A and B are shown apart, each in its own frame.
Chain A
Amino acid sequence: MRIILPGDKISDNPVRMENAIVENGKTYATVMGMLDDEHGSFIPLESVWYPRQGDFVIGIVENSKNNVHTVQLDSPFRGLILPPPRPRFGRGRDDRFGGRPQREERQEILRVGDVVSCFVKDVKREADQIILILERPRRLFGGKLVEVRPSKIPRVIGKASTMLKQLEDGTKCTILVGLNGIVWMKGENVPLAQKAINKIQEEAHISGLTERVTELLASQNGGS
């Protein structure tokens, strides 16, 4: 593994991969990252969130008009929550699913300023910008929002969510991680959760991170 910087060559061949461009048949990095020459994998150290279908995001309702909500996601792309489609049969029912109202169809009552979590349903290129169609909005009551650099989000979650689980257990908090770089936390020891997340952000690239986070959580809990 070695650090490479924007403009550094990743491969003498054209390789279609994230955070890289192909010029004259060769592949070059576009962000700082760690390159594993053996396996050809490239993990960005810094990157900008680029939305994808199915991404879990957290944002703030910014505007509300005709039942369409605009969500500020701390990104250049505007999120939109559209009103649910009209039920095809009967009131609020969709017979495709055996007549039970689906989670997707249940409309939360949202007001400007509310914190919501959503999933990206669609990334649409509109006339003048990219619009994210969001679905399954869930209002988040209370709690605290923390900004995390999008490139560090995978480390906050950890392999198979191990890191996140450890954080939640160690702080007795519910922690929701938006891929857009916004993390919501609520529970017993929010300051500790925030401390741990900051540690992850700052030391994500140094090995032994899990152990150090375990240590931090244990030391703070032991004191109480």
Chain B
Amino acid sequence: MGGGKNKPELIVDGKRTDGRAFDELRPIKIEAGVLKNAEGSAYLEWGNNKVLAAVYGPKEAQPKHIADPDRAIIKCRYQMAPFSSLEEHNRSGPNRRAIEISKVTKEVFENVILLDNFPGSEIDIFVEVLQSDGGTRAAGITAAAVAVASSGIPMRDIPYAVSAGKAGDQIILDLNKIEDNYSDADMPVAIAPRNNDILLLQMDGSLSKEQVSKAMEMIQKAGETVTKLQRDALEARYR
């Protein structure tokens, strides 16, 4: 998001830099159950993003003092690999951005996992971004949802996440890295599709009220596609 003097044109002749239509998702591929040790796992490619998600637990909460006597707690770590970006080597370890994304991702799963079934325990969710090209938090949540569903940890719904943004006056779906860098707004959203509950909502840039609505509608429509891909990945293990 933001400016810079050398801002490239994000829309030329009604098409985006990668040739997509305004409301078009990048190609998405999901595979469930890719890691042996984890209770549940998923590998997801979303455009050039490559993301692994894994879930462990429920197990006894450690250290003990963080345990919640009424429900399971979730620990979540989102991390970008040092080699993940086309630009410079990233310092490894959690930076402030990663800590915030870990927190909002955790909150998405606190909503859908039936935590009350496992008092005193913890569930660990790991999202490792192996290659990044914009929209990694949405990709991570979408992958983690498949990982949790494949684990047998009870959940009330399988959430998905997609981002929308703005280039010039045009609302566009699923921003890639270049669009993300130079767009006029970015709005990642996670939704539990059964009731269309908004579980994650972030936004920065400039959006009118109407544009917020337009972006939400685009995201929900794309959600049907993402949900279908999540379901296919889960069912593929049993066909």
Are A and B part of the same complex? yes
Query: Using a CB–CB distance below 8 Å, which chain A residues touch chain B?
Result: 3, 5-7, 19, 21, 23, 28, 30-32, 44-48, 50, 75-78, 125, 127-130, 149-151, 205
Determine if A32 and B234 form an interchain contact, defined as CB atoms under 8 angstroms apart.
yes
**Distance in Å from the Cβ of A206 to the closest Cβ of chain B?**
8
Which of A3, A44, A127 lies at the interface centre, i.e. has the most chain B CB atoms within 10 A of its CB? A3
Besides A45-B152, A75-B59, 4 other A-B contacts (C-beta < 8 A): A6-B112, A19-B154, A75-B58, A76-B122
**Distance in Å from the Cβ of B65 to the closest Cβ of chain A?**
9
Determine if A45 and B238 form an interchain contact, defined as CB atoms under 8 angstroms apart.
yes
Inside 8 A of B150's CB, which chain A residues have their CB? 32, 46
Inside 8 A of A45's CB, which chain B residues have their CB? 152, 238
Determine if A130 and B119 form an interchain contact, defined as CB atoms under 8 angstroms apart.
yes
Determine if B155 and A7 form an interchain contact, defined as CB atoms under 8 angstroms apart.
yes
Determine if B59 and A76 form an interchain contact, defined as CB atoms under 8 angstroms apart.
yes
Query: Using a CB–CB distance below 8 Å, which chain B residues touch chain A?
Result: 40, 57-61, 64, 67, 69, 72, 112, 114, 117-122, 149-158, 192-194, 231, 234-235, 238
Determine if B151 and A46 form an interchain contact, defined as CB atoms under 8 angstroms apart.
yes
Determine if B121 and A7 form an interchain contact, defined as CB atoms under 8 angstroms apart.
no
Inside 8 A of B112's CB, which chain A residues have their CB? 6
In the complex with contacts A30-B114, A32-B149, A128-B69, A7-B156 CB distance below 8 A: yes
Compute how far the CA of A50 lies from the CA of B121 in the bound complex, rounded to whole angstroms: 13
Inside 8 A of B119's CB, which chain A residues have their CB? 125, 128-130
**Distance in Å from the Cβ of B144 to the closest Cβ of chain A?**
13
Determine if A129 and B231 form an interchain contact, defined as CB atoms under 8 angstroms apart.
no
Determine if A128 and B234 form an interchain contact, defined as CB atoms under 8 angstroms apart.
no
Compute how far the CA of A6 lies from the CA of B59 in the bound complex, rounded to whole angstroms: 21
In the complex with contacts A6-B149, A7-B193, A78-B60, A129-B155 CB distance below 8 A: no
CB-nearest residue of chain B to A149: B152
Which residue of B60, B69, B235 contacts A127 across the interface (Cβ within 8 Å)?
B69
Inside 8 A of B114's CB, which chain A residues have their CB? 21, 30
Which residue of A19, A32, A129 contacts B69 across the interface (Cβ within 8 Å)?
A129
Determine if A3 and B60 form an interchain contact, defined as CB atoms under 8 angstroms apart.
no
Inside 8 A of A31's CB, which chain B residues have their CB? 149, 152-155
Compute how far the CA of A149 lies from the CA of B234 in the bound complex, rounded to whole angstroms: 17
Compute how far the CA of A6 lies from the CA of B234 in the bound complex, rounded to whole angstroms: 11
**Distance in Å from the Cβ of A16 to the closest Cβ of chain B?**
15
Determine if A3 and B235 form an interchain contact, defined as CB atoms under 8 angstroms apart.
yes
**Distance in Å from the Cβ of B57 to the closest Cβ of chain A?**
7
Inside 8 A of B194's CB, which chain A residues have their CB? 7, 28
